[in-house]
Chains A and B, each alone.
Chain A
Amino acid sequence: MDGLQTLENILQSLVAGVLIGAMYGLMCVGLTIIFGVMRVINFAQGEFMMLGMYFAYFCFAWFGSWAFFDGVWFPFMLALLAGPALFVLGMALHRSLIHSVTGRQASGLEAQGHYAQLVLTLGIALVLQNGGLFLFGSSPVSVSNELSYSAWEWGPMVGDRVSVFVNQAQTIAAILAVVVVSAFGLLMARTRLGKSLRAAADNPDAATYMGINVDRAHRMAFGFGVGITAIGGGLLATNISFQPYIGTEYVIIMYAGVVLGGLGSIRGAFLGGLTIGILQQVSAIILPNQLQNTVIFVCFLLIILLRPQGFFGRRERIA
């Protein structure tokens, strides 16, 4: 492998890393909303991503053959629609299960309910994962179309060498990820709803005295967190194949990004996810494929051990 070839590989990995990292960033934002507002570590987040993927897959399978939906944009629209769909599911799960071990209800439990929250979300993860196996089957599927296999070519940059191929589906997905994150950032910063979420995150008691319904704020936060991660999953589904067990490895990727960015910071989570995406792609140049995830887990351990407050965000704050 000569120098130009190496350069091409590095550039190629960086571009792929940024595009995939943007989707990871979006998923990380979903996770960090839940932590930031509710102080709950959600182990089932990977499963909500998986549900977002299957939402896109089944809608595509059912409606994709209708002439009206026969555009290349359809899978991306489905990915965005996975957001509201999972938002509703998240709200329902909060109301029925999560609600009883978080917020006010948790104050009487051992260690403010952290014990209970971790284990409850683990239980939800197990049910969704294995229930998914039953409902969706174990063979890998994907939501690919021609864009997934098309690329824009940049270059050649040096003579007739060093061309970087930019996958079209990944590019569209990454742009949508940035749009969704920005829109959510505006919602948090500008709207009354965003303010009430931030107030509930900052000081639940004071927020209650100011007339904010903290329980409702938590429910909204859980819905938003789940929905946004599901959109990330739906976008990713246009690029990779998946099966019901995919959540477990991605939950670590998400936590790596979120911890890197500082738990609870939206901007930090997005940048953290982006960094993890780049790291994953670049590590593939020198390491065998099977070790890609090991690299992420080791990085995650190093970050959490050496700098648990993260690099980009303020400590345990939201927005």
Chain B
Amino acid sequence: MNLATLSGLKRDSLHIGVFALVYAVLAFLVSNSYYQLIMTIVPVWAVMGVSWNLLSGYSGLISFGHAAFFGLGAYLVALCLVVWELNPWLTIVLATLAGGAAGLLVGLPTFRLRGHYFALAMLAYPLALLYVFEWLGYQEVALPMHREAPVLFMQFENGRWHILLGLALLVAALLTSSAVAHSRFGMALLAIKLDEDAAEAAGINTLKWKLAAITVSAAIAGAAGGFYAVVLLVVTPLAVFGMLVSAQALIFAMFGGVGTLWGPVLGAFVLVPLSELLYARYAADFPGIQGVVYGIAIIVVILFAPQGLLLKLQAWRKPGQVRLLGSTAATADFGAGDELLVVPPIPDENPHDNPVLAVTALSKAFGGLQATNDLSFSVRHGELLGIIGPNGAGKTTLFNLLNGFIPPDAGQIRFHGQPLGRQRPNRRCALGMARTFQVPRPFTHLSVLDNVVLGAYVHADSRQQAVRYASAAVQLVGLHDLHDYPAANLTTKELRLMELARALASRPTLILVDEILAGLDAVAMQDMLAVLRKVRALGITVLIIEHSMQAMVQLVDRFIVLDHGAMLAEGIPDVIVRDPAVIEAYLGKKWLQGTEKRAAAGAARTKGEPGHE
């Protein structure tokens, strides 16, 4: 069998199978009950590492609160056995469900926060639960022995059955983690990790995927906690809700390799036996030795191998081949032509009569600054509309209002006749409104094609379809030769083209283009204009912000001129460049003389080169 031909999930499954087989054989070779206990605990912590990694490693949102889910699982199993004599086979399943539910419940409010604030908030959940469980009187819950039915109550005579159960849990967690990583789910989480706003604008429902991630992750942690209670036979608040539980989950993943499938496993398999053996040897003299080992391990890793041991080893073995889990290394499919990008059917009965976009009395103020002031305009189907104005005229604010990054104070936006209300950017993208950013926001670790594939998922039913859309978009902007380059290596012009391709791959009916020409030299600018004309030729409506009047008069059908957030003028280029108000506010008096010269020069050039536009 050729490994290279297997898909990611199948290859991972094979590795997981081999790993499980080796570990199971080892389990049968070991008969010392202390070593058996360690061999049971190690996979449990590996599962916690995988659980943490699935949320924090994949999405970049650091959780210091996984102990909350672990502890709930442990107490659920312990208390169900004490109170109702429910067997752990059933209650570990319940613990999984309860963990998932708790994750969803925690995620709903907490995902309003990002970065530092998210990490801090997550810290509070397990600590609050710890004191609640102490107050409830569950300082120490011992699991009653059921010698009459050892299999039913998972209280086996021989510890190796516990090892196998722990291993089964780990296999399930790893398969889940691999399935997530190699799907649209994993791609979405990676996009969130790299740039959450850009992901949202590319049509990825970031809240939905984050909630899905915390639910799956917390379910795994709940199962691990439930099984931990069965193995240890006693549950205390500090042991299951304590800071060290969350810290261990994080440390194993970071130590082994954050965002990788095997990193958390490697971390747990190195650190747990090490700390357990040291503890057994030195606990009498040095009670906190486990914590010190974990602390030192994580400090050393952060300073010397911040990507984790696994990636360090890989980089050393095969330099240049390291890639993050979740990145797909999509194979381009340049077979199809631009017709793939032709606008999908518009949800409007009279697409050609109704405007694509109608803005009425839109206003937005930041403190005392009126960034958008009672602005009304509409964009016709297939039009290329330019928005110009001096710095601070409110151009980018207008785009942020249109695409839903910020809510307006007043006014309405209708898209294909439908009022947009408070729909989030990803919904607007799904409805057919795409955008690029003034400062390009690429997912720098990913290849050009993968960047574009992320934008293509909005209207794709499958990965293949997403890759086809993305390939067509990459080809249209002319980046097909660079499609497997990492985005970090692109020039400014190429980055902007890539962003345009990412917007196009979502098959929009309207594209908002933010200063795509700024800072380009004359040749690059002409290339860019040619690409924009191609986009428009597909029937896609374009709204473009720009400073350079010279370039814009060659391109647009109509201008809107903004000044201090309000409409200064509107009309076809010929009229706008002669409008006294526009000249006063924006172009300056010299423009008029310049235009005459340019017109003369342009006329001369057109004579010289027939066929020039």
Interface pair B250/A122, CB less than 8 Å apart: yes
Closest to A125 in B: B295
B292 within 8 A of A: yes
B612 within 8 A of A: no
A65 within 8 A of B: no
Q: Tally inter-chain residue pairs, CB-CB below 8 A.
A: 140
Q: Which residues of B contact A293 (CB under 8 A)?
A: 127-128, 131
Q: Report B128-155 CB contacts with A as 1/0, cut-off 8 Å.
A: 1001101100000000000000000000
A138 within 8 A of B: yes
B112 within 8 A of A: yes
Interface pair A297/B299, CB less than 8 Å apart: no
Interface pair B292/A255, CB less than 8 Å apart: no
B569 within 8 A of A: no
Compute how far the CA of A278 lies from the CA of B33 in the bound complex, rounded to whole angstroms: 52
Compute how far the CA of A294 lies from the CA of B132 in the bound complex, rounded to whole angstroms: 7
B109 within 8 A of A: yes
Q: In residues 263-300 of chain B, which contact A (Cβ within 8 Å)?
A: 285-292, 294-299
Q: Report B51-79 CB contacts with A as 1/0, cut-off 8 Å.
A: 00000000010101000000000000000
Point out the residue from B121, B131, B302 that lies within 8 Å of A120, measured CB to CB: B302
Given A252-B124, A255-B120, A131 contacting B292 (CB threshold 8 A): yes
Point out the residue from A43, A124, A133 that lies within 8 Å of B299, measured CB to CB: A124
Interface pair A297/B128, CB less than 8 Å apart: yes
Compute how far the CA of A300 lies from the CA of B121 in the bound complex, rounded to whole angstroms: 8
Interface pair B120/A119, CB less than 8 Å apart: no
Interface pair A127/B113, CB less than 8 Å apart: no
- Nearest Cβ on chain B to A298's Cβ, whole angstroms: 6
- Nearest Cβ on chain B to A281's Cβ, whole angstroms: 17
Q: Which residues of A contact B62 (CB under 8 A)?
A: 114-115, 118-119
Interface pair B295/A127, CB less than 8 Å apart: yes
Interface pair A301/B121, CB less than 8 Å apart: yes
Q: Which residues of B contact A259 (CB under 8 A)?
A: 117, 120
Q: Which residues of B contact A248 (CB under 8 A)?
A: 127, 243
- Nearest Cβ on chain A to B108's Cβ, whole angstroms: 10
B245 within 8 A of A: no
- Nearest Cβ on chain A to B274's Cβ, whole angstroms: 15
Q: Which residues of A contact B135 (CB under 8 A)?
A: 288, 290-291, 294
Q: Which residues of B contact A133 (CB under 8 A)?
A: 287-288, 291
Q: Report B299-312 CB contacts with A as 1/0, cut-off 8 Å.
A: 10011001000000
Compute how far the CA of A110 lies from the CA of B119 in the bound complex, rounded to whole angstroms: 16
Interface pair B287/A114, CB less than 8 Å apart: no
Q: Which residues of A contact B251 (CB under 8 A)?
A: 119, 123
B116 within 8 A of A: yes
A208 within 8 A of B: no
Per the CB 8 Å criterion, the residue count for chain B at the interface is 46
Per the CB 8 Å criterion, the residue count for chain A at the interface is 47
Point out the residue from B64, B117, B287, B295 that lies within 8 Å of A304, measured CB to CB: B117
Q: Which residues of B contact A130 (CB under 8 A)?
A: 287-292, 295
Compute how far the CA of A164 lies from the CA of B244 in the bound complex, rounded to whole angstroms: 41
Compute how far the CA of A288 lies from the CA of B302 in the bound complex, rounded to whole angstroms: 41
Interface pair A134/B288, CB less than 8 Å apart: yes
Interface pair B113/A305, CB less than 8 Å apart: yes
Q: Which residues of B contact A185 (CB under 8 A)?
A: none
A260 within 8 A of B: no
Compute how far the CA of A161 lies from the CA of B250 in the bound complex, rounded to whole angstroms: 55
A1 within 8 A of B: no
A64 within 8 A of B: no
Compute how far the CA of A128 lies from the CA of B299 in the bound complex, rounded to whole angstroms: 12
Q: Report B245-256 CB contacts with A as 1/0, cut-off 8 Å.
A: 001001100100
Interface pair A129/B288, CB less than 8 Å apart: yes
Closest to B114 in A: A308
A97 within 8 A of B: yes
- Nearest Cβ on chain B to A316's Cβ, whole angstroms: 10
B123 within 8 A of A: yes
Given A100-B303, A252-B127, A308-B113, A131 contacting B288 (CB threshold 8 A): yes
B115 within 8 A of A: yes
Closest to B243 in A: A248
- Nearest Cβ on chain A to B51's Cβ, whole angstroms: 17
Q: Which residues of B contact A92 (CB under 8 A)?
A: none
Interface pair A120/B109, CB less than 8 Å apart: no
Interface pair B128/A127, CB less than 8 Å apart: no
Compute how far the CA of A126 lies from the CA of B255 in the bound complex, rounded to whole angstroms: 15
Compute how far the CA of A259 lies from the CA of B120 in the bound complex, rounded to whole angstroms: 10
Compute how far the CA of A290 lies from the CA of B286 in the bound complex, rounded to whole angstroms: 29
Q: In residues 131-157 of chain A, which contact B (Cβ within 8 Å)?
A: 131-134, 138
Q: Report A87-110 CB contacts with B as 1/0, cut-off 8 Å.
A: 000000000010011000000011
Interface pair B131/A308, CB less than 8 Å apart: no
Interface pair B296/A123, CB less than 8 Å apart: yes
Given A120-B299, A308-B113, A127 contacting B291 (CB threshold 8 A): yes
Q: Which residues of A contact B288 (CB under 8 A)?
A: 129-134, 244
A-B contact pairs, 17 of them (CB 8 A): A115-B258, A115-B306, A119-B302, A120-B298, A122-B250, A122-B298, A125-B295, A130-B290, A130-B295, A252-B124, A255-B120, A263-B116, A290-B134, A297-B124, A297-B128, A305-B113, A308-B117
Closest 5 CB pairs of A and B: A130-B288, A130-B291, A126-B295, A133-B288, A127-B295
